[in-house]
Chains A and B, each alone.
Chain A
């Protein structure tokens, strides 16, 4: 514990150009915590690190809030997602990570009674502007869900689904896209002899890699991964993590994870959320080793949440 105040004080110095966090003035162990203040409903200005300033934004949320009916799930989130980087969203269960992710490709539109405020900009397009082409928007973002959700068709048809619904008929194009995608997720050698078999006969890890292959077949600009490894065993998890590192060379990736080590392993930036607020956001190294807020450190080291 003795190292803690020193480290936080160090972080406070970095924070100087930002407006101070109003509800968390005291950083000593006995002082009121930021999280307590959030629980009591006080406004919180996220501690966003300097390092993000130099990044180019692919996604930018501006004061984005979301309500499920009367229940508010997101509170004025302002953050960017850096181009070509892996950004991890962490935070305790129910803090709104999935909600934020699903707001980007407007999957929350399906939920009855959803209301939003503020905006999200994807590649310069405000995704909630009236008249925006939601289908086109979703085609430009790939998404992978918590549980593998292969469609009840052959492996090949699963992979090329996005092209099929775009009306692509040319066999050569489809075959090539299928192979490229499966190679990208390191699944080609495992399944190349049974492309016509049902995807439901694959193992869970294979299914999840298939879902990633399916998500990237139409060359989206952004990949949204919502706890892609939570239903997988450690070996399959490791493979997916390697895959994420590889894919990060070609895609901008936003990943939700409950696994702190995973976030540390795969991501360049980490955003810590709590009860619908962005609490702290910075490079993964800083957030883990040199966080501004004591609460962030406690969370990433597993001492709460």
Chain B
């Protein structure tokens, strides 16, 4: 009896130590891998960082090839001017930010609505299980499937129905002309022209992203809302709150966690590659119109990396990858800290 009591903690102790070491080891491993990844990217991007410096973040110029053109020298004689390849990440950073923002604008209201439905309505209809499964299933669909659907269904629909409709509706409204005219940079020369509506544009990319981030935002929001204490909901109802008002109170109670859910969605949208590449039009330029083709950081990498033979081109692409890594990491850390640390429980404890 006594020996058992004495020996069991020791064995547990040893097991604990081993497990603890293993856990710590794996955690360190993961951190190490992350650090190694960042270091490798940093080293590989160094030529580009050296060449362009901070200007990389501010320039929209993305020219892998040198341009040979005519120019005048100081004396006024016509000479051949060679501009070397030049790289700047601003256009794709813009593309990533805007397409992700568009995705959130569309997905957040839908996701929160769906999460509220799952928590407040579906259980009564005995639908919660089925619907939750469907939401999680949506999250498991491979990105390429969304891409193909976007390419063959969504883009043509936008091209033939939505965008012409919007154009005839809004095209002549003063102040909205920018929606349908774009600038074209042909060999350094800027031309203004109506945007050809192809359906493969920023809007389509944003919508595809919206569909893809919907499941994760919905699933996490559902868990956040489910964790809202019953007493909170009953408290509002007992004071005469309507169904919607009590839902608003739930959202307020879970706001930190919900913000985290949205950030997780944002992280996914910013990093998403395949589907976006297929539908966004891949135009490395900043165009204010959502009906113009655009490009995101990840779609730029997917498009050009295999063909980048030139050292500087490769380095520039890897610098884009490094920026993307840092961005996703920052968003993810923010999201996790909000869901885990800043959630309702922490708020209640304070």
Interface residues of A (CB under 8 A from B): 105, 107, 110, 112, 135-136, 138-139, 141-143, 145, 147, 149, 151-153, 161-162, 165-166, 198, 200-201, 211, 214-215, 218
Contacts and interface: CB of A to CB of B under 8 A. Distances in A.
Interface in B205-256: 229, 231-242, 245, 249, 252-253
A165 B245 contact: yes
A149 B348 contact: no
Contact of A151 (B123, B124, B236, B238): B236
Interface of B: 123-124, 229, 231-242, 245, 249, 252-253, 344, 347-348, 350
Q: Which one of B123, B235, B236, B253 has the greatest number of beta carbons of chain A within 10 Å?
A: B235
B240 A151 contact: no
Contacts of B344: 152
A151 B235 contact: yes
Which 5 A-B residue pairs are closest in the complex by CB-CB distance?
Answer: A139-B240, A143-B238, A149-B231, A138-B240, A162-B239
B240 A201 contact: no
A152 B239 contact: no
A218 B239 CA distance: 9
A141 B234 CA distance: 13
Contacts of A166: 240
A152 B252 CA distance: 8
A165 B237 contact: no
Contact of B253 (A141, A151, A162, A218): A151
Contacts of A152: 252-253, 344, 347-348
A107 B252 CA distance: 21
B348 A153 contact: no
Contact of B238 (A107, A147, A153, A200): A107
Given A151-B253, A200-B347, A200-B350, A138 B231 contact: no
B235 A138 contact: no
A139 B236 CA distance: 10
A162 B235 CA distance: 10
8 contacts: A107-B237, A107-B238, A110-B234, A138-B238, A145-B238, A149-B235, A200-B348, A201-B350
